[in-house]
Amino acid sequence: MTTVAEILMLVGGLIALLAGIGLLRFETNYARFHAAGKASPVAFLVTALGASSQLGWEGTASLAITTAAMILTLPVGVHLLFRAVHRTTPGTHLRVDELAPAERAAGLRRGSEP
Amino acid sequence: MKTTALTPRRTLSIATLTLAWCALWQTMSVANVLSGVLLASALTYAGIGTSGRGSIRPLPLLHLLWLVLVDLAASTFAVAIEIVTPTDRTEEGIVSVTVPPECRQHLLLLIVAITLTPGTAVVDADPDTGTLYLHLLHVDRKGKTIEHVHHLARLSCEALPTYPAGVTQ
């Protein structure tokens, strides 16, 4: 069981490392949020799964609550970051932007978008 | 009129909340279980966090949870591939998807589920029109993504109680 736990924690660490590399490697804010927002809950989930087999009922219960809270709240946080970036920076790299006309119609200011 | 009966749904809510309470205290003692049941009963009877109407259908709910978990694993894999691939093949775009009117009550759940879908994230949402604005890493997959969002919306409608327009919870 220890070996399985160690492998799971190693995999979790590797996913977190990949998310970190993604933050540096991707060129746009949106793509960076994808790296941070998708990989980190999985990294936490896998690491927690490995750790819970070593921590017993008390530790597992805490990790289960923390994991549930993270999976439920992180997507909302990522969504707010996406929205903030869209409203404040020009999205010239976007091939399609169907939100911009709706924001302009609602009078929401955007960065220096033409 | 608010019902005071101990329905299966209310029993399940009390059991789940009691388990969460014990998990927070990290001990399954008699005192924790009793205080948990008391607190959970007070919360459910006061109507906090639950409408007490409609029904939750377990099979569609399990299907939805399974789909979200698969999406989470697939999206992590897809993003990992993007990260380790030397060429940047991303073609980003923001597209709009309109959710069917009966599913607009579960917009927050949809936002969570969609954000865990590969290459997709919700940039903005209009609850009045039920429009979600999605950022796609690969805008050429727009059709597939819209289909997937509608599938998630249908499942959330089947799994969770819905109310006629104008009726508040």
Q: Which residues contact A106 (CB under 8 A, 6 or more apart)?
A: none
**Interchain contact A113–B (C-beta under 8 A):** no
DSSP, collapsed to helix, strand or coil, labels residue B160 as coil
Determine the pLDDT at residue B164: 58
Residues B63 and B42 in one domain: no
- The single residue listed with the structure tokens 């404040």 is A88
Looking at residue B157, its pLDDT comes to 84
A78–B92 C-beta distance less than 8 A:
no
In this predicted structure, what is the pLDDT of residue B2? 55
Determine the Cα–Cα distance for residues A61 and B80; give it in Å rounded to an integer.
Answer: 29
Domain interval for residue B128: 58-159
Same domain membership, residue B68 and residue B41 = no
**What is the distance between the alpha carbons of residues B118 and B104, in angstroms, rounded to a whole number?**
22
Helix (H, G, I), strand (E, B) or coil at B161: coil
Residue A110 lies in a domain: no
Using pLDDT thresholds of 50, 70 and 90, give the confidence band for residue B53: low
Phi, psi of B38 (to 5 degrees): -65, -50
pLDDT tier, A11 (very low <50, low <70, confident <90, very high otherwise)? very high
Retrieve residue B153's tokens.
């919306």
Interface of B with A in 53-92 (CB under 8 A): 72-73, 75-76, 79-80, 82-84, 88, 90-92
Tell me how many domains chain A contains. 1
Pairing type for strands A96-97 and B93-98 reads parallel
When CB atoms are compared, the residue of A41, A91, A96 closest to B72 is A41
Task: Give the confidence band of B35 by pLDDT, cuts at 50, 70, 90.
Answer: very high
Across chain B, mean pLDDT equals 81
- Among B107, B131, B132, B135, which would you mutate to test the A interface (most chain A Cβ atoms within 10 Å of its Cβ)? B135
pLDDT tens by residue, A75-113: 888 888 888 888 888 777 788 888 888 877 777 655 555
Tokens at residue B121, please?
């994230």
pLDDT for residue B130: 86
Q: Which domain holds residue A53?
A: 2-105
- Residue A74 Cα, gap to closest chain B Cα (Å): 8
Whether residue B167 contacts residue B54, with contact meaning beta carbons closer than 8 Å, is answered with no
**How much is the pLDDT for A14?**
92
C-alpha–C-alpha distance, residues B2 and A103, integer Å: 41
Within a domain: residue A112? Answer: no
Q: Which residue has the higher pLDDT, B47 or B29?
A: B29
Residue B1 maps to a domain: no
Alpha-carbon distance B148 to nearest alpha carbon in chain A (angstroms): 17
Name the residue type at position B27: T
Residue A113, domain member (yes or no) = no
Distance CA B132, CA B100 (A): 11
Asked if residue B146 and residue B88 are part of one domain, the reply reads: yes
Position A114 in a domain: no
pLDDT per position as a tens digit, B104-142: 878 888 888 888 777 788 898 888 888 899 998 888 888
Q: Could you report the per-residue pLDDT of A28-74, keeping only the tens digit for each? A: 888 888 888 878 888 888 999 899 888 887 788 888 888 888 888 88
pLDDT digits (tens, 9 = 90+) for B1-34: 456 677 777 888 889 889 988 888 888 889 999 9
> Hey, which residues 32-91 in chain A have their CB within 8 Å of chain B?
33-35, 37-39, 41-42, 45, 57-59, 61-62, 64-65, 71-72, 75-76, 78-79, 82-83, 86, 91
Same domain, B153 and B124: yes
